Amino acid sequence: NTSKQAVNPGPKFGAYGLPKAATLFLSRQYALDYGAHGIRSNAVNADRIRSGLLTDTMIASRSGARGVSEKEYMSGNLLGQEVTADDVAQAFL
């Protein structure tokens, strides 16, 4: 479980970002070291998932700060659609 903080750090998130960056680095290193043996290493970056942390109030605040709609904010990924907690759980499985 990694974070965009590893590649796109934000201010005052150093304590949070450091272990996430290390996790991403180790995943990439393991892929490099063991990929030739058929061993996979994956990281999941579960960002903008509705949860107890990312509430409707926080979504409204963060989307407003970025000048986008809540729908645009929640679908601001390469899929172009909102990712759910169930999607993340399936990725980890």
- Single out the residue of 71, 36, 38 nearest to residue 56, CA to CA: 71
Residues 53 and 84 reside in one and the same domain: yes
| Contact status, residue 59 vs residue 50, Cβ threshold 8 Å | yes
Cα distances (angstroms) measured from residue 87 to each of 48, 50, 56:
12, 12, 19
Longest dimension (CA), the chain: 47
Write out the chain's pLDDT in tens, 93 residues: 888 788 877 777 888 889 989 999 999 999 999 999 999 998 888 889 998 889 999 999 989 988 999 999 999 888 899 999 999 999 888
Let me know whether 29 and 10 are in one domain: yes
Range of the domain at 2: 1-45
Residues 36 and 71 in one domain: no
Q: What is the pTM of this model?
A: 0.67
Q: Are 37 and 52 contained in the same domain?
A: no
Residue finishing a domain among 30, 45, 60: 45
